[in-house]
């Protein structure tokens, strides 16, 4: 895992989101299949028509080790973009995780694989393999623009996208935010006097 990818992996998505003024998070309905799943890697983007997962298979075939498949399935919740067989192949070929603005199926089998999938949930019906779709093009996923190579970080709170051109600056601000959050908790949590002082300070500033 490259250095910047492993550094982002240690930062909660909430701090990364704060470093981007809350602008680049996917729709919060896109959640990990298991709470403990985390992902951090570069986006291999997939644009597919509703109900045709050919481009997902192409992306799995072409992915580099550690890539995160980010799939624009238009928010469709009727046709699964993959089940345990397709997800198993993604795992076998070294993909780092799957994020989809859509749904999956065979979730008992996918949970057994222990492979991180973030989706809108599950369904029963599969997609056709009709040959449409594109990979490695700019997409919109969960209401957010994503370009191939952007950094994707996901955890129990959701998924954030770090645009490639800004990644070093965002890393620094997110690390700073994480440290400040920790300091604030250490000083204030469980301390009644410090909590009242903190609230009074924020409230008086907000009401000016």
Query: Please, which residue, 51 or 83, has the CB nearer to Mg ion?
Result: 83
Nearest alpha carbon to residue 39 among 161, 144, 122: 161
Q: Which is nearer to ligand OAA, 31 or 79 (CB)?
A: 79
* 76 forms part of the interface with ligand OAA (CB under 6 A): no
Residue 177 and residue 87: Cα distance in Å, rounded? 35
> Is there binding between residue 53 and ligand OAA (CB under 6 A)?
yes
Q: Which stretch binds ligand OAA (CB under 6 A): 2-10, 32-40, 77-85, 159-167?
A: 77-85
For residue 162, the cross-strand partners are 151
Tell me the C-alpha distance between 207 and 160, whole Å.
31
Task: Please give the span between the terminal C-alpha atoms of the chain, in angstroms, as a whole number.
Answer: 47
Residue number, 108 or 206, with CB nearest to Mg ion: 108
Count of residues binding Mg ion (CB under 5 A)?
Answer: 3
127 Cβ contact partners less than 8 Å away, ≥ 6 residues apart: 48, 51, 52, 53, 56, 79, 80, 81
- Least Å distance, CB 68 to Mg ion, is 22
Residue 86 interface partner, choices ligand OAA, Mg ion, none, CB cut-off 5-8 Å depending on type: ligand OAA
Three-state SS for 118? Answer: strand
| Identity of the residue, 87 or 141, whose beta carbon is nearer to ligand OAA in the bound complex | 87
Stretch that binds Mg ion, among 45-53, 104-112, 144-152, 196-204 (CB under 5 A): 104-112
127 binds ligand OAA (CB under 6 A): yes
In whole angstroms, what is the distance from residue 176 CA to residue 182 CA? 10
Count of Cβ atoms closer than 10 Å to residue 95 Cβ: 23
Beta bridge partners of 72: 47
Under DSSP, is residue 13 helix (H, G, I), strand (E, B) or coil?
Answer: helix
Residues 67, 72, 76, 84: which binds ligand OAA (CB under 6 A)? Answer: 84
126 binds ligand OAA (CB under 6 A): yes
- When CB distances are held under 5 to 8 angstroms depending on the partner's kind, the choice from Mg ion, ligand OAA, none that residue 82 binds is ligand OAA
Q: Of the two residues 39 and 60, which places its CB atom closer to ligand OAA in the complex?
A: 60
């Amino acid at each position: 895992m490259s250095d910047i990818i492993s550094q982002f992996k240690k930062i909660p998505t909430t701090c990364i989101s704060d470093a981007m003024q809350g602008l680049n998070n996917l729709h919060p309905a896109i959640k990990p299949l298991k709470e403990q799943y985390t992902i951090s890697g570069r986006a291999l983007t997939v644009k597919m028509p509703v109900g045709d997962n050919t481009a997902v298979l192409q992306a799995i075939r072409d992915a580099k080790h550690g890539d995160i498949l980010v799939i624009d399935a238009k928010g469709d919740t009727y046709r699964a973009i993959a089940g345990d067989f397709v997800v198993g192949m993604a795992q076998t070929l070294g993909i780092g995780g799957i994020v989809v603005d859509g749904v999956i199926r065979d979730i008992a089998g996918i949970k057994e694989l222990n492979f991180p999938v973030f989706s809108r949930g599950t369904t029963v019906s599969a997609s056709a393999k009709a040959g449409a779709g594109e990979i490695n093009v700019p997409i919109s996923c969960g209401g957010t623009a994503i370009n191939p190579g952007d950094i994707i970080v996901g955890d129990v709170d959701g998924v954030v996208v770090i645009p490639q051109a800004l990644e070093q600056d965002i890393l620094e601000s997110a690390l700073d935010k994480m440290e400040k959050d920790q300091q604030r908790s250490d000083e204030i949590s469980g301390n009644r006097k410090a909590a009242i002082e903190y609230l009074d300070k924020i409230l008086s500033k907000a009401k000016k």
